[in-house]
Chains A and B, each alone.
Chain A
Amino acid sequence: MADTGTNAETVTLTIDGQDVTVEKGTTILQAAEAMGNRVPHYCYHPGLTAPAQCRLCLVEVEGAPKLQASCVTQASDGQVVHTQSEKALTQRKGVLEFYLANHPLDCPICDQSGECKLQDYVHAEGRKRGRSREPKRVFGRDDFGGDVLFYGDRCVMCTRCVRFMNEIEQNPLLTVVERGNRSVIDTFFDEGLETADFAGNVVDICPVGALVSKDFLHKARAWDLDHTPSICPNCSQGCNIDLHTRDNRVQRLKPRTNLDVNQHWMCDYGRHRYDWMNRGDRVEAPLTRAADESMTRASGWNEALEPLAGRLDELKGAEVRAVASPFASNEEMASLKALVDALGGGQIRYRSPRTDEEIPLPGFPTLVRRRDLAPNVKGAEILGLTRVGDDAAEGGLEDLDDFEGILLVVGDELADQPDDFGSSAGLFIYLGQYPSPATRTAHGILPISTHAEQEGTFTNHGGRVQRFWPGTHPPGAARPGWLVMAALRAHLTGSAVPAGAAEMFEEAARSVPEFQGLGYPHLGTRGAVINEPVKLPGT
């Protein structure tokens, strides 16, 4: 930091007594944030333009007569900024007090409570007691259409929601009506947000409980939720998300910032398809077919795997055909591939739903609700799986009706199949989550966990390999599919069982050229693109 100002691309300023060097064009607020100092703000959001209207991010800049809005004031060389000076704190305390003059303070019944920026800032910097003795303004509630409910009295008029619809979705369905203290967010006529495709994001960016999700309404308190980084499984875009869970159930999906994939956003289609993660009709214990054809619950994994491995050994040399779900992780697909290879090789196929419609986000057009409505179609392609079936993910399994070899099915793939599916197979193993009529003839039913319950990676449409983490516990004895298949393979070949998903990925990376050089440590929480030089953190 000695060569202050000599580099045209960066500037060095002092914030609260500490020097910080940032790229030219960075605002004071961003520079402060880079050093871990959060200046309170409402209207500023990193994904939107900054109108500097909430007046909460005021900081003292030496030499400036007035406090400056740090969200629009650019950092410059030699600037001396005080975010915590008495003047700055006093002014921000004043601004905060104004927010409370009309706020209903209905925290006990507000969904935002616990993750509310008004609570946070007032606790951090506000007055102990507000001074207003006047009656409060009342707007009431409004159904904004779609999943969005508006509690007007809680609104802090930051206009983030309006700007999201204008700038990012570029479908200006929200606006501010009236002016002054009568200003209120509204939709045009009764149209509402019904026709929007990304409106759920306005709930996320609303700093208070003014915009809330109908789906989540009164479902859980924010402080009871655990957040687990994950990947949206609902299309091949691979938006980074967090699973918000409580009581071992996924309560909602929220976008997680990844500037390369989805910025701060996700689509409504993806956001609202999580119910299946909470399905109760799960296979909970390994089942094997006894000599008398009845299905019996194995007393443990080894008891289930041993006889199946024995049968596989007996059938060695028989043709192998496998079906995998495009919701399976890279690790599961790779483990299946390794198992099939151990059995002498065979065709692995997958089916995936596909729509005609792509739904791009105009303000960030590389975020598109993709046509492939499954997360790991690209991973399947890379691992050499063959796509079969139609756009409804049906058909493509007709040849299995009289197939007499070894049949492996991984994932929830048989819902459309009749109850005599696989009845001709010499050995039919179903590794999945849900029982269905078509699993009735299986010789082994092995419970595996969903993506919400395990660690793994998906490869998105653009070849970005991204990690996800387990947010819930699998039911009963269910285990990650890759582990079950690796254990089965170990029984057959004596190979070592990978100690975790990371090792499973490493094993795959050794044989799959596209994955070479990739590993969990470099994937981090942001992922990495195949065939692109890996940027290690700090380089």
Chain B
Amino acid sequence: MAYPYRHEKETPMLSRGFGDPRTRTLEGWKELGGYTALEKALKSSREEVIEEVKASGLRGRGGAGFPTGVKWSFMPKEKKGPHYLCCNADESEPGTFKDRELLRWTPHQVIEGCLIAAYAIQAEHVYIYCRGEFFEATQVLARAVEEAYEAGLIGKNILGTGADIELTVVAGAGAYICGEETALMNSLEGRRGLPRVKPPFPAAVGAFGRPTTINNVETLAAVPHIINRGGAWYRGFGTEKSPGTKLFCVSGHVRRPGNYELPLGFPMMELINDVCGGLRPGRTLKAVIPGGSSVPIMSAEDCETCTLDYEGVVECGSMLGCASVIVMDDTTNIVKQVRRMVDFYAHESCGQCTPCREGTQWLSRILVRIENGKGTEEDLDTLLELGDQMTGTTICVLSDSAAAPVASSIEKFRDDYLALIRRGERVGAA
């Protein structure tokens, strides 16, 4: 199939319908076995659904990798008012482009996952919060939701089982911070998208002040497969601690960037050199950011033995995050790349917390100075100290995320910084 490119080592489960316009329709999705998992779930007890997801070992694909079944079980067992499910489709992390594809090719897969999760946590309403710039994806999703409503798959008495679940698609206004779970809830409520202080956690006080579970699009898209084929089957993919398949968003200096669905634990170098066709001719690997811009940068040596599962990447000094692999070859000006990431965070910081509001901009200004050959060695110490001052001191972890690439790049590519400082000379060209 011609979805931009498929590799034989892929294990398409969530991405099965990518590139096939039929899967956007209810009919086409049903041909692939769609909504049978929903029916199965609605006929089981809520506890059985949660147990199955726990058994699968599915971990949140939004970045933190928290076990999904466990998260669902935090919801109050006894319902004293509305419960909500939020599906986090605000995907804005630089380097990440998997949720968009799931929404625009397989909207029913996401809807089905949402409905099953809503049933499991006794939510009567699902909100799918889409990134503001996802015009096409949001339209495709909205159309699918209409179809599902018409077919009685959403709304009152779903499939005659007595379950009532409503679903609303909400478009954000274009803010990365609204992907942070509690900022998303504020935005959903019509407030400024500011992360909330935790505790209380969403399972106690979430959207509209009610118990709420929030999951990433990819997390929820995996749920129908787990319900259909069982948690044990799902564990057949991936590693002991990181089971299942994962969409890897590969970008940067590889010949075939794109989304690749692979079992967790897949070797990083095999992903780069085989699946993605390797680097461009004559280039050598310089650095990789394995999990989206929020995780520490890895040097080429770090990557040698790295396997792409939650534990494997941590062992090599970074984090899997949302598995957005940004590949940089020897032409890369690391300082510039780091500065661009920091600029992104400075632009996207919500501005509540002083270390983040002031720190992101300050880091950026120092980096610009270094980039322009006007830095000093003390600047590097200042950068590291400011990074420390920004880490663990704020309401959400955007601040930590902005500091992480700075610290890790100074640690691993200090020479690049020093070259710019000492000779006013750029390393690399890009």
Residue positions of A touching B, CB distance < 8 A: 51-56, 58, 65-67, 69, 72, 91, 94-95, 97-99, 101-102, 131-132, 134-135, 137, 156-157, 176, 178-183
**Residues B382 and A180 in contact, CB atoms below 8 Å apart:** no
**Residues B349 and A179 in contact, CB atoms below 8 Å apart:** yes
- Bound complex: CA A101 to CA B394 (Å): 18
- Judged by a CB distance under 8 angstroms, whether B351 is at the interface is yes
Q: Is the interface of B mostly helix, strand, loop or mixed?
A: helix
Question: With A94-B389, A98-B362, A134-B366 known to touch, is A180 a contact of B347 (CB < 8 Å)?
Answer: yes
- Judged by a CB distance under 8 angstroms, whether B269 is at the interface is no
What's the least CB distance linking B305 to chain A, in Å? 29
Residue from A53, A65, A182 within 8 A of B353 (CB atoms): A53
- Bound complex: CA A260 to CA B388 (Å): 44
What's the least CB distance linking B353 to chain A, in Å? 5
What's the least CB distance linking A59 to chain B, in Å? 12
Residue from A65, A94, A157 within 8 A of B393 (CB atoms): A94
Apart from A98-B357, A137-B361, what are 15 other A-B pairs with CB-CB below 8 Å? A53-B352, A54-B353, A55-B354, A55-B393, A55-B395, A65-B392, A91-B389, A94-B385, A95-B389, A98-B362, A99-B354, A156-B354, A176-B351, A180-B361, A183-B351
Residues of B within 8 Å of A51, CB to CB, are: 197, 352
- Bound complex: CA A52 to CA B392 (Å): 14
Residue of chain A at shortest CB distance from B348: A180
**Residues B349 and A134 in contact, CB atoms below 8 Å apart:** no
Q: Give the most central of B197, B354, B385: most A CB within 10 Å.
A: B354
The 6 closest A-B pairs by CB, nearest first: A94-B389, A183-B351, A98-B358, A53-B352, A180-B349, A134-B365
Question: With A98-B355, A157-B357 known to touch, is A179 a contact of B175 (CB < 8 Å)?
Answer: yes
- Judged by a CB distance under 8 angstroms, whether B192 is at the interface is yes
Residues of B within 8 Å of A182, CB to CB, are: 351
Residues of A within 8 Å of B355, CB to CB, are: 55, 94-95, 98
What's the least CB distance linking A105 to chain B, in Å? 15
**Residues B395 and A53 in contact, CB atoms below 8 Å apart:** yes
Residues of B within 8 Å of A95, CB to CB, are: 354-355, 389, 393
Residues of A within 8 Å of B63, CB to CB, are: none
**Residues A101 and B392 in contact, CB atoms below 8 Å apart:** no
- Chain B residues within 8 Å of chain A by Cβ, number: 32
A-B contact pairs, 14 of them (CB 8 A): A51-B352, A52-B395, A53-B354, A55-B394, A91-B389, A94-B385, A95-B355, A101-B358, A131-B382, A134-B366, A180-B350, A180-B351, A181-B358, A182-B351
Residues of A within 8 Å of B352, CB to CB, are: 51, 53, 157
Residue of chain B at shortest CB distance from A178: B351
- Bound complex: CA A131 to CA B197 (Å): 30
**Residues B389 and A181 in contact, CB atoms below 8 Å apart:** no
What's the least CB distance linking B205 to chain A, in Å? 14
- Judged by a CB distance under 8 angstroms, whether B71 is at the interface is no
**Residues B362 and A134 in contact, CB atoms below 8 Å apart:** yes
What's the least CB distance linking A161 to chain B, in Å? 15
What's the least CB distance linking A28 to chain B, in Å? 14
- Bound complex: CA A239 to CA B266 (Å): 70
What's the least CB distance linking B343 to chain A, in Å? 10
Question: With A52-B197, A69-B197, A179-B177 known to touch, is A98 a contact of B354 (CB < 8 Å)?
Answer: yes
Q: Is the interface of A mostly helix, strand, loop or mixed?
A: loop
- Bound complex: CA A72 to CA B361 (Å): 27
Residue of chain B at shortest CB distance from A54: B354
Question: With A51-B352, A180-B361, A181-B361 known to touch, is A66 a contact of B392 (CB < 8 Å)?
Answer: yes
Residues of B within 8 Å of A53, CB to CB, are: 352-354, 395
- Bound complex: CA A67 to CA B392 (Å): 8
Question: With A56-B354, A179-B177, A181-B357 known to touch, is A98 a contact of B389 (CB < 8 Å)?
Answer: yes
Residues of A within 8 Å of B389, CB to CB, are: 91, 94-95, 97-98
Residues of A within 8 Å of B361, CB to CB, are: 101-102, 137, 180-181
Residues of B within 8 Å of A97, CB to CB, are: 389
What's the least CB distance linking B183 to chain A, in Å? 11
Residues of A within 8 Å of B278, CB to CB, are: none
- Judged by a CB distance under 8 angstroms, whether B359 is at the interface is yes
Question: With A55-B394, A94-B389, A95-B354 known to touch, is A181 a contact of B349 (CB < 8 Å)?
Answer: yes
Residue of chain A at shortest CB distance from B358: A98
- Bound complex: CA A179 to CA B348 (Å): 7
**Residues A176 and B192 in contact, CB atoms below 8 Å apart:** yes
- Bound complex: CA A94 to CA B177 (Å): 24
**Residues A94 and B358 in contact, CB atoms below 8 Å apart:** no
- Bound complex: CA A69 to CA B355 (Å): 13
**Residues A58 and B350 in contact, CB atoms below 8 Å apart:** no
What's the least CB distance linking A501 to chain B, in Å? 48
- Judged by a CB distance under 8 angstroms, whether B46 is at the interface is no
What's the least CB distance linking A136 to chain B, in Å? 10
Residue of chain B at shortest CB distance from A99: B354
The 8 A CB mask of B238-256 against A (1 = contact, 0 = none) is 0000000000000000000
- Bound complex: CA A91 to CA B352 (Å): 17
Residues of A within 8 Å of B197, CB to CB, are: 51-52, 69, 72
- Judged by a CB distance under 8 angstroms, whether B156 is at the interface is no
Question: With A56-B354, A98-B362, A102-B358 known to touch, is A67 a contact of B393 (CB < 8 Å)?
Answer: yes
- Bound complex: CA A238 to CA B243 (Å): 68
- Bound complex: CA A99 to CA B122 (Å): 45
- Judged by a CB distance under 8 angstroms, whether B420 is at the interface is no
- Judged by a CB distance under 8 angstroms, whether B369 is at the interface is yes
What's the least CB distance linking B356 to chain A, in Å? 8
Residue of chain A at shortest CB distance from B175: A179
- Bound complex: CA A82 to CA B159 (Å): 58
**Residues B192 and A157 in contact, CB atoms below 8 Å apart:** no
- Bound complex: CA A132 to CA B383 (Å): 11
- Judged by a CB distance under 8 angstroms, whether B346 is at the interface is yes
Residues of A within 8 Å of B347, CB to CB, are: 180
Q: Give the most central of B177, B360, B362: most A CB within 10 Å.
A: B362
What's the least CB distance linking B400 to chain A, in Å? 10
Residue of chain B at shortest CB distance from A102: B358
- Bound complex: CA A66 to CA B400 (Å): 13
Residues of B within 8 Å of A181, CB to CB, are: 346, 349, 351, 357-358, 360-361
- Bound complex: CA A157 to CA B346 (Å): 16
- Bound complex: CA A66 to CA B393 (Å): 8
What's the least CB distance linking B365 to chain A, in Å? 4
Residues of A within 8 Å of B177, CB to CB, are: 179
Residues of B within 8 Å of A94, CB to CB, are: 355, 385-386, 388-389, 393
Q: Give the most central of B175, B350, B389: most A CB within 10 Å.
A: B389
Residues of A within 8 Å of B385, CB to CB, are: 94
What's the least CB distance linking A285 to chain B, in Å? 59
Q: Give the most central of A58, A99, A181: most B CB within 10 Å.
A: A181
- Bound complex: CA A55 to CA B359 (Å): 13
Q: Give the most central of A53, A91, A95, A180: most B CB within 10 Å.
A: A180
Residues of B within 8 Å of A102, CB to CB, are: 358, 361
Residue of chain B at shortest CB distance from A92: B393
- Bound complex: CA A52 to CA B197 (Å): 7
Interface positions, chain B 379-430, Cβ under 8 Å from A, are 382, 385-386, 388-389, 392-395
Interface positions, chain B 357-377, Cβ under 8 Å from A, are 357-362, 365-366, 369
**Residues A58 and B393 in contact, CB atoms below 8 Å apart:** yes
Residue from B357, B365, B366, B393 within 8 A of A91 (CB atoms): B393
Residue of chain B at shortest CB distance from A50: B197
**Residues A101 and B351 in contact, CB atoms below 8 Å apart:** no
Residues of B within 8 Å of A131, CB to CB, are: 382
What's the least CB distance linking A451 to chain B, in Å? 43
Residue of chain A at shortest CB distance from B199: A72
- Bound complex: CA A182 to CA B346 (Å): 9
- Bound complex: CA A135 to CA B368 (Å): 12
- Bound complex: CA A95 to CA B385 (Å): 12
Residues of A within 8 Å of B362, CB to CB, are: 98, 101, 132, 134
Residues of A within 8 Å of B392, CB to CB, are: 65-67
